[in-house]
């Protein structure tokens, strides 16, 4: 057998032989049904102990790639057969009107040395050991029997923990039955869109705004209408009267940053009530607030049950947890639960129970206190650096919450996509404001996240950016 084994390489001899055999199987030099040399013979050829070869064979037998036939030797097993080549492109196509294609996301791209990507919290702050312990305890025997299906709304324990926490921190007035635990904001938006939107319905979105919301509504056949944003948030008087739904980010307009002013909040609720418009209040990032008194949420101000409040643990904990929730008026409850059951049944009960403990026992509050201190320091470094190093070219949009800041170019002719592309080549990841624009009225600018930015890399990163912008 033609087997090249690098016995001088670092690592043990068993692993070297194991890897060489695996390579030979993968490359097809050893095919299904081929007989391997007896371990004694191969050991003699390689100049190693027989036991070393036998252990490597055993490892491959345990993985199902080799088969030991009693008294007849060791053979390459069926499982080792190469995966068949992909078939032809196919003749199935999405329905007419389906246009959205997946876009690259943060986890698929290399991490640049100066990381100002938007919407990413610092994963190193997350208490992984505590989380592992909580999930393991639930899997061993917790709030839900793992062999059975669960309620589409999510575990009552978690829904209760969420309403208590929201009542305290955001003044949200709700009962546990008003909550549906979701796989993040995106699923919450999907459920609301399923039950509210008919083909051709007008959905008003902020411009600039959150592209995944815009695309989601469009995927249900909505006519998505961009509405201007100014220093007080979405310009309510420009929302069309015939809108079925308005999507808004009142505590930290995404991505510009200002909160929706009190008078606009009142005007939006009045408009919604007058024209029977539904409002989705996306309260992302509100856990990271840098002022004392936040404005009341639309949900808390709403007297007519027109607001669906949406929140996420993607920023306060981790995006990979895929955990979020919606709080809906009772008139939508049954439909939303039905939509959830049709979409994916329900969420993962062990993770939900772990999250319930995490919220109810004060671990979330403790984690947020620590995270806030870190993000405050990073935010100040970003704001100070933008002012000192780029103040002649960029004007920061005032904001009071969140994990990013936005600054617009003083020269409206700047190509912000060009600046962001050149910056990335120089190891500085920032985002162009125009990437979030729907219509033509959005000025050029840069969006800088500081959630994932290593603190010491911030000022050098801004210096580098100043040489390019
Ligand atoms: C405006 C906005 N809402 C919500 C989210 C979070 O989405 P999810 O909960 O689906 O992770 C993000 C993430 O970047 C966001 O920018």
> How confident is the model over 212-271, as pLDDT tens digits?
999 999 999 999 999 999 999 999 999 999 999 999 999 999 999 999 999 999 999 999
Q: Is 182 in the pocket of ligand 1 (CB under 6 A)?
A: no
pLDDT surpassing 90 at residue 211 = yes
pLDDT on residue 120: 94
Q: How confident is the model at residue 7 (pLDDT cuts 50, 70, 90)?
A: confident
Residue 97 pLDDT grade (very low, low, confident, very high; cuts 50, 70, 90): confident
> Residue 119: CB partners within 8 Å, gap ≥ 6?
106, 314, 315, 319, 403, 404, 449, 451
The rounded mean pLDDT for the chain is 94
Task: Please determine, for residue 444, whether its predicted confidence score (pLDDT) is greater than 80.
Answer: yes
State in Å: Cα 152 to ligand 1 middle: 21
Arithmetic mean of pLDDT, 439-461? 96
Query: Is 251 a pocket residue for ligand 1 (Cβ < 6 Å)?
Result: no
How many CB atoms sit inside 10 A of residue 179's CB?
26
**Looking at residue 231, what is its pLDDT?**
94
Kindly tell me if the per-residue pLDDT of 82 is higher than 80: no
Instruction: Give the single-character DSSP code of 326.
Output: E
Q: What is the pLDDT of residue 2?
A: 67
Residue 11 pLDDT > 70: no
CB burial class (10 A; 0-12, 13-18, 19+) of residue 293?
Answer: exposed
Its pTM stands at 0.86
Predicted confidence band of residue 357 (pLDDT cuts 50, 70, 90): very high
pLDDT at position 144 over 90? no
pLDDT at 207: 98
pLDDT in tens, 364-422: 999 999 999 999 999 999 999 999 999 999 999 999 889 999 999 999 999 999 999 99
CB of 200 within 8 A of CB of 218?
no
| Whether residue 185 has its Cβ less than 6 Å from ligand 1 | yes
Cβ of 352 less than 6 Å from ligand 1 = no
Whether 461 lines ligand 1, by a CB cut-off of 6 Å, is: no
pLDDT at 291 over 80: no
CATH no. for 13-76? 1.10.10.10
pLDDT above 80: residue 468: yes
pLDDT of residue 137: 93
The protein residue with its alpha carbon nearest to ligand 1, atom 2, reads 284
Res. 54 pLDDT band, cuts 50 70 90: very high
Chain-centre distance of CA 85, in angstroms?
A: 32
Tell me, using a 6 A CB cutoff, whether residue 349 lines ligand 1. Answer: no
Average pLDDT over residues 126-146: 91
Ligand 1, atom 6, residue with closest C-alpha: 185
Side-chain half-sphere of 386: how many Cα atoms within 13 Å? 25
Ligand 1, atom 13, lies closest to the CA of: 119
For the ranges 24-33, 107-116, 337-346, the maximum mean pLDDT occurs at 337-346
Question: Where does residue 241 fall: left (phi above 0), alpha (psi -120 to 50 degrees), or beta otherwise?
Answer: alpha
Structure tokens at 458: 């911030």
d(CA 305, CA 278): 9
Per-residue pLDDT averaged across 424-443, rounded?
95
CATH class as words, domain 127-361: alpha beta
* Measured CA distances, 5 to 20, 87, 437 (Å): 6, 35, 57
Place of tokens 């200002």: 258
Q: Does residue 3 have a pLDDT over 80? A: no
CB of 249 sitting under 6 A from ligand 1? yes
Task: Name the E strands within 21-158.
Answer: 66-69, 73-76, 114-115
Helix (H) or strand (E) holding 281: strand 278-282
If you measure from the C-alpha of residue 186 to the centroid of ligand 1, how many angstroms do you get, rounded to a whole number?
Answer: 7
Q: What does the CA dihedral 5, 6, 12, 15 come to, rounded to 10 degrees?
A: -40
Q: Enter the DSSP assignment of 305.
A: S
Domain ranges in the chain are: 13-76, 113-118+366-466, 127-361
In this prediction, residues 326-347 reach a mean pLDDT of 98
Cβ-Cβ contacts under 8 Å for 450 (sequence gap 6 or more)? 116, 375, 378, 379, 381, 382, 403, 404, 405, 458
Fold (topology level) of 113-118+366-466: 3.90.1150
Is the pLDDT confidence value at 307 over 80? yes
Nearest-atom number in ligand 1 for the CA of 188 is 10
Residue-level pLDDT at 318? 97
Q: Do domains 13-76 and 113-118+366-466 have the same CATH topology?
A: no
Phi, psi of 66 (to 5 degrees): -120, 160
Q: How confident is the model at residue 183 (pLDDT cuts 50, 70, 90)?
A: very high
With 70 as the cut, is the pLDDT of residue 454 above it? yes
If you take atom 3 of ligand 1, which residue's CA is the nearest one?
Answer: 284
Residues in contact with 402: Cβ distance below 8 Å, sequence separation at least 6, in sequence order: 252, 257, 285, 288
**Element of type H or E holding 447:** strand 445-449
**Residue whose C-alpha is closest to residue 268's, from 241, 288, 286:** 241
Lowest mean pLDDT among 83-87, 169-173, 239-243: 83-87
Range 117-131 average pLDDT = 96
pLDDT score, position 9: 58
Residue 286 Cα, ligand 1 centroid: separation in angstroms? 12
């Amino acid at each position: 057998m033609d087997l090249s084994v690098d016995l001088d390489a670092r690592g043990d001899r068993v692993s070297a032989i194991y890897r060489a055999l695996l390579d030979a199987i993968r490359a097809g030099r050893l095919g299904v049904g081929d007989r391997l040399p007896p371990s004694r013979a191969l050991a003699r050829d390689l100049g190693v102990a027989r036991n070393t070869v036998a252990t490597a064979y055993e490892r491959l037998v345990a993985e199902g790639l080799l088969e030991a036939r009693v008294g007849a030797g060791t053979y390459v097993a069926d499982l080792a057969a190469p995966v068949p080549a992909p078939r032809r492109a196919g003749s199935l196509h999405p329905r007419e009107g389906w246009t959205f294609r997946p876009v690259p996301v943060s986890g698929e791209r290399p991490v640049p040395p100066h990381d100002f990507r938007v919407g990413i919290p610092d994963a190193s702050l997350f208490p992984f050991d505590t989380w592992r312990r909580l999930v393991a305890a639930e899997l061993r025997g917790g709030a839900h029997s793992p062999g059975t299906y669960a309620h589409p709304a999510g575990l009552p324990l978690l829904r209760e923990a969420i309403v208590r926490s929201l009542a305290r921190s955001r003044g949200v007035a709700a009962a546990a039955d008003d909550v549906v635990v979701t796989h993040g904001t995106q699923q919450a938006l999907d459920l609301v869109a399923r039950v509210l939107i008919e083909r051709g319905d007008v959905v008003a979105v902020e411009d600039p705004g959150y592209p995944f919301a815009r695309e989601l509504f469009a995927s249900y056949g909505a006519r998505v209408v961009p509405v201007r944003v100014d220093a007080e948030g979405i310009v309510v008087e420009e929302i069309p009267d015939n809108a079925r739904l308005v999507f808004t980010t009142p505590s930290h307009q995404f991505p510009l940053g200002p909160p929706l002013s009190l008078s606009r909040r009142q005007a939006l609720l009045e408009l919604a009530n007058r024209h029977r418009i539904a409002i989705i209040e996306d309260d992302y990032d509100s856990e990271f607030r840098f002022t004392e008194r936040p404005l009341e949420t639309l949900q808390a101000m709403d007297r007519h049950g027109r607001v669906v409040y949406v929140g996420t643990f993607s920023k306060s904990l981790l995006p990979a947890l895929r955990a979020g929730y919606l709080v809906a008026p009772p008139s939508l409850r049954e439909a939303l639960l039905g939509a959830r059951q049709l979409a994916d049944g329900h969420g993962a009960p062990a993770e939900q129970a772990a999250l319930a403990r995490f919220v109810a026992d004060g671990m979330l509050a403790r984690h947020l206190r620590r995270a806030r201190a870190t993000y405050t320091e990073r935010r100040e470094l970003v704001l100070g650096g933008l002012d000192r190093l780029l103040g002649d070219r960029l004007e920061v949009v005032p904001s009071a919450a969140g994990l990013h800041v936005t600054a617009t170019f003083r020269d409206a002719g700047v190509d912000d996509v060009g600046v962001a592309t050149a910056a990335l080549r120089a190891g500085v990841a920032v985002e162009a404001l125009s990437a979030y624009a729907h219509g033509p009225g959005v000025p050029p600018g840069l969006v800088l996240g500081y959630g994932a930015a290593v603190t010491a890399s911030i000022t050098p990163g801004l210096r580098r950016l100043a040489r390019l912008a």
